[in-house]
Amino acid sequence: MSSPLKILWVAAEVFPFAKTGGLADVAGSLPPALKKLGHDVRILLPKYACTKSQPIHSLNQEIEIGKTKATLFAGKLAEDVPVYLVENDAYFDREYLYGEPGSEYSDNAERFSFFCQAALKACKALDFQPDIIHCNDWHTGLIPAYLKAIEDPWYSKIRTLFSIHNLGYQGNFSMDKFPVTALPDRFSGPEGIEFYGQMSFLKSGLIFADALNTVSPRYCKEIQTAGFGMEGILQQRSNSLTGILNGVDYSVWNPATDRLIAENYGPGSLSQKQKCRDALIKKFSLKIDKNTPLLCMITRLSSQKGIDFLMEASEDLKNQCMVVLGEGDSKYENFFRELAKANPDRFAVALTFDDALAHQILAGSDILLMPSIYEPCGLTQMYALKYGTVPIVSSVGGLDDSIQPFDGKTGTGFKFVPDDRKSFKQALQNSMACFADKPGWERLINNGMDMDFSWDNAAQQYSSLFQDIQPNH
C-alpha cells in the first residue's frame, strides 16, 4: 500500500450505534476495512438516544460551536476503529435520527450544520489532524464548505471526499436559515450552496469537496443525466466523480454464523434454511406449503423503493405469499397493512424497524423483491445472495451492477425493467417456474451464495482515491 493516511470518517448513522438504512452498514464496515489497509481511520457521528445502548464513555472533552456546547464521547468498532460521538442532547437525544417515519425534524438545518462544525472542532480538540475527511451524504455536506471558509492554517492540508449514498436526500432548506450555517455571505449565492432559491447541504458537498464518489458504477452514470437537479453540477465534476460498488460485512451478514436466525446454514447445508423458513412461517402464522415460494421485502417504505409501482401491480402479487418488514410513509404502510388483512394466511407485515427480524426474514424467505425506482447501490440484495434468497430486482443502479439474470446456468437472480408491469410479471413468472425446478433452483441459490462482495476490493479503490487528492500527489 502507498502511505498510510489519517482519515476522519463522518456520517449521520453508523451500525451498530445508529441505523435507518444502508449508510449505517457502510459506515460500520468500510472504515474497519480501511484500517486493515493500514490507515488511521476514526469515525464521528452524533450521539442519539439510541446510541446509549452501546458501550460508550465520555471523553470529558467539551467543544464550542458559537455559543452552543457539545461533549465528545467515544466507543469502538471492529479492528479497534475509534468512534467519536457528538453529544448535544437538545439536538440529538431524540427518538428518531431525522424525524418521525415519513417526516423530518423542523430544525435539521440547525442540527446538521452544528454537527459539521462539531466535526472540525473535534479534530482539533482531539489533536487528530486528518489528511482526509470522508464525508457521507447531505448531513455532512457543509464540512467541505467550512474547510474552504476557515482561516486557521491547522486545517489547510485537510482534503475531502464526499460520498453520495443517495442523491434523493439533499438537505434543502429555506434560505432564511442560511445564518444558522454561520458560513460567510459569499457562500449563499449560486456559486455557493444556493440551489433553486433554497440552500442545499448536498450541493455544498458536491461543489466544495476535493473528490466525489457514489456507491455503484451504474448509479454514477445515471446521476449525470437524472440527478434530482444536480446533474449539471455532476457533469461539471465528472472528472472528480467515480462509482465504487459497496461491499458486504460478512461478519454481520452470513447465515453460517448469524446468531439471530433459527438455524445456521451454508451452501453445503441448505436443508437448514428450510428450518429458518418454517420458523418464519410459524412466527407470522402463515399457511403455505413447501411448493410455494415465500417472498419478502425488507425496506424503508419510501417512494424510491418502488412501492407505488407495487400498488399498481398488486394484482400480480395477489397469488403470492409474502412477508414485508418496513417503516416509512403512511400510505405505503396502509397498503401493506390492507394486503395482510385481506390475505392473513399468505401475507404478513411488520411495520417497524427491527434488525433481528431483518436477518430472520432474509434467512427464512425464498425470494427477495426489490422493485426500486432508483437504487444507488442497495445492500439487501447482496445480503440475500449470501442467505440463499433469490433477488428479483429492477435493473437500476447498484441492483443492476450486483445481480446478473439467471440463464439456467449462470446468474444470481431475476431482473425487470423499472416501473414496467409486463416485465415485472415476466420476472415473477420466471422465478416461479425456476422455483418449481428443484435442481435449477439449487444451482441458482448456489451461484448467489458463491458471490463475494466483501469490502477488500472497494477499500482498495477508496484508498487510491484518498492518495489521488493528497496535496503532494
Q: By the criterion CB under 6 A, which residues form the site for ligand ADP?
A: 21-23, 25, 298-300, 325-327, 353-355, 358, 377-380
Taking Cα atoms as reference points, which of 368, 404, 372 lies closest to residue 384? 368
Q: How far apart are CA 5 and CA 37, in angstroms?
A: 10
CB of 9 to ligand ADP, least distance (A): 17
CB of 391 to ligand ADP, least distance (A): 11
Q: How far apart are CA 348 and CA 22, in angstroms?
A: 23
CB of 166 to ligand ADP, least distance (A): 6
Q: How far apart are CA 66 and CA 432, in angstroms?
A: 60
- Set of cell numbers at residue 413: 437472480
Whether 260 contacts 359, CB under 8 Å: yes
CB of 248 to ligand ADP, least distance (A): 10
Nearer to ligand ADP, 146 or 416 (CB): 416
Dihedral sign (CA 92, 98, 99, 105): positive
CB of 349 to ligand ADP, least distance (A): 10
Nearer to ligand ADP, 374 or 414 (CB): 374
CB of 362 to ligand ADP, least distance (A): 7
Dihedral sign (CA 429, 431, 436, 440): positive
Nearer to ligand ADP, 377 or 444 (CB): 377
CB of 303 to ligand ADP, least distance (A): 12
Dihedral sign (CA 467, 18, 113, 58): negative
Nearer to ligand ADP, 115 or 374 (CB): 374
Q: How far apart are CA 369 and CA 390, in angstroms?
A: 9
Nearer to ligand ADP, 23 or 369 (CB): 23
Nearer to ligand ADP, 130 or 255 (CB): 255
Q: Count CB-CB contacts under 10 A for residue 146.
A: 23
Note the residue count of the chain: 473
Sheet-wide strand order for 347-350 = 347-350, 321-328, 294-301, 367-370, 390-394, 414-416
Nearer to ligand ADP, 192 or 397 (CB): 397
